[in-house]
Chain A
């Protein structure tokens, strides 16, 4: 008696030796335990993107939606061409840091990368001590103790080996102590300014849409 042969080729290319559990359950586990790719949309709602398959087509899942597509080469910077299983859509895409802007099917989109990959730290850092990389003297002070500073704000001008340099704040915070005064000298490794320990909610830092910098909400 001839055995019935069951072909086992699936829609996304190939399924294989029986996977443990149904595909749906695996995806759920994946979403729970694995590396997460997250974006905030233009309304500030956080979305998670799951990569379900890569070859021969890319299959993604966003919430309940499953999209199969293949990105085609366009040879033109910014131009995007996607094969959605026969239907070709074209558009434009521009990336600036953690922001992605897209124009597809006559509609504009903006997503911002979130999560650890975007540089959001899960823990606040302890007080930041700003130290001198070489010995020198203080030429001018631009801030005082107790002041709130933003990342990149000028703190003091120092001179070292005939070279004047600007010392700026490595992150936003409040200055707790300025350890030096104008015309004082310091050694390599000396602490110049101390910032207070960050007082942020570790679970989520939201970017400020105006400046693009993370601030606590």
Chain B
């Protein structure tokens, strides 16, 4: 396989400007993540300590095998919601190794409002369980939650993809033989009680762990009876009398040790075998990614330079290199796994859409997982293209991509506007994992374009009504629209809403994809099949 020839000139001023810009974005990402992970009011930390509890991240580190990676998903969930009250949506989700097994971990963060579930917390946990279902990953729950956040109950409780969906997912996981372990380290109240109850195995910590459908305040309100949390649903009762819990642990450390022992006894999954080769690091320095990614959403870059800094040995076997040049397709190895890469070098035309569809079929035929590196502003528009059938060519690409049975992985490298998002496997198309870069922007169209379009609409409206056009007002309107739009376009917003599985520092992409691919192979692959391709 040929090595990609890089044309990058690191001494260029363009490189240096971009480098500074992206480094500072990466720094911003780390600062935001650091704050989301660790910044807590001291009284909340003190409260935990006084209860004899470990901090959620301490529990995590004690649970994970030493010297193993942990891919945390959606660290910055809810960072733009609820006034910033719920960093990380008060839970931690990630993929790690416990007793030699790949698992996905969901840990409630009781340093935030006692671990109560906000609407986005529920969405994050559902996403965690969906990932578990799609990838056949066993789940470890570290339960310590006060239950649903009552003030926002209408967004937490009633609808199809709200709280109940967690328990539906848990049931289906169990049905499919995908194991779940719950470590009850705090209260599991009301709906929360179902998490350990629906887990195949659970361990409860004496003194601090409790499981009940109705907590002491509810019991008092309902029956007038006064009972302590421990008596009502504590470790002793549930392990000796009711049988709701399987093991009682004297401490959180002991619960984690028991949990690790349980996981070690699970049958190791037979992973789906795909083409695999010895691993090589990329030949080019991934650090150079900072200088490749533009500092402006309207500017472009050669996606081959990005590919060269992600794949093994920077080797890339390009498919149809001379046809459909705005979509770069090809085969490469990533952490040894053979993958098919689709990356944008401009907008999509008829030929690139056709090329993409065919390449997707080749990947499905050969059981090759696909990695989509999105940087797309849309399809080509215009009479000639419409007459040539760009709409149906785009549809073919979407049909092939949507009906794929191989695992798909998406990285939002830069722009993701309009219908281009669809063909390139956006969120709606069930990529197993979808990550964004900090510079990423997503919207139905770009900010400038949206502002200009809205302005056009406004102008015509004023004309129709025969009202005078005030330049200053229009300019202000444009600025306002742009500003509102910008906040909605940014990666911080999309990750806050859980439109992705996390924002990655570009240099972390290789490791994240490696872990993602490895995790996805726990599930068997289906068989190829497509709907009708409008030829």
List residues of B (50-65) whose CB comes within 8 Å of A's CBs.
Answer: 52, 58, 61-65
Decide if B365 is an interface residue (CB 8 Å cutoff).
no
Would A18 and B287 be within 8 Å (CB), given that A3-B6, A35-B61, A116-B254 are in contact?
Answer: yes
Decide if A7 is an interface residue (CB 8 Å cutoff).
yes
| Contact flags B282-295 to A (C-beta < 8 A → 1, else 0) | 11111100000000
Decide if B281 is an interface residue (CB 8 Å cutoff).
yes
Contacts of A122 in B (CB 8 A): 250-251, 253-254
Decide if A16 is an interface residue (CB 8 Å cutoff).
yes
| Contact flags B30-70 to A (C-beta < 8 A → 1, else 0) | 00000000000000000000001000001001111111000
Q: Is the CB of B250 within 8 A of A15?
A: no
Decide if A184 is an interface residue (CB 8 Å cutoff).
no
Q: Is the CB of B62 within 8 A of A121?
A: no
Chain B: CB-nearest residue to A51 = B67
Contacts of B250 in A (CB 8 A): 121-125
Q: Is the CB of B281 within 8 A of A14?
A: yes
Q: Is the CB of B281 within 8 A of A9?
A: yes
Q: Is the CB of A8 within 8 A of B285?
A: yes
Q: Is the CB of A35 within 8 A of B281?
A: no
> Interface size class for chain A?
20 to 34
Q: Is the CB of B256 within 8 A of A8?
A: no
Contacts of B10 in A (CB 8 A): 3
CA distance A30 to B61 in the complex (A): 9
Would A35 and B66 be within 8 Å (CB), given that A16-B281, A18-B286, A116-B256 are in contact?
Answer: yes
| Contact flags B474-500 to A (C-beta < 8 A → 1, else 0) | 000000000000000000000000000
Decide if B280 is an interface residue (CB 8 Å cutoff).
yes
Q: Is the CB of A17 within 8 A of B509?
A: yes
CA distance A57 to B510 in the complex (A): 22
Of the residues A6, A13, A34, A51, contact of B61 by C-beta under 8 Å: A34
List residues of A (15-69) whose CB comes within 8 Å of B's CBs.
Answer: 15-18, 30, 33-37, 50-54
Would A15 and B281 be within 8 Å (CB), given that A33-B58, A121-B250 are in contact?
Answer: yes
Q: Is the CB of A121 within 8 A of B510?
A: no
Chain B: CB-nearest residue to A31 = B66
Contacts of A54 in B (CB 8 A): 67
Decide if B262 is an interface residue (CB 8 Å cutoff).
no
Q: Is the CB of B507 within 8 A of A14?
A: no
CA distance A127 to B280 in the complex (A): 58
CA distance A121 to B207 in the complex (A): 14
Decide if B511 is an interface residue (CB 8 Å cutoff).
yes
Chain A: CB-nearest residue to B289 = A17
Contacts of B285 in A (CB 8 A): 6, 8, 18
Q: Is the CB of A8 within 8 A of B6?
A: no
Contacts of B61 in A (CB 8 A): 33-35
Q: Is the CB of A50 within 8 A of B66?
A: yes
Would A30 and B66 be within 8 Å (CB), given that A5-B283, A16-B281, A18-B507 are in contact?
Answer: yes
Decide if A148 is an interface residue (CB 8 Å cutoff).
no
Q: List 22 A-B contacts (CB under 8 A).
A: A5-B284, A8-B282, A8-B283, A8-B285, A14-B279, A17-B509, A18-B285, A18-B286, A18-B287, A33-B61, A34-B61, A35-B64, A35-B65, A35-B66, A51-B65, A52-B67, A53-B67, A117-B260, A122-B250, A122-B254, A123-B254, A125-B206
3 tightest CB-CB pairs across the interface, nearest first?
A8-B281, A17-B286, A51-B67
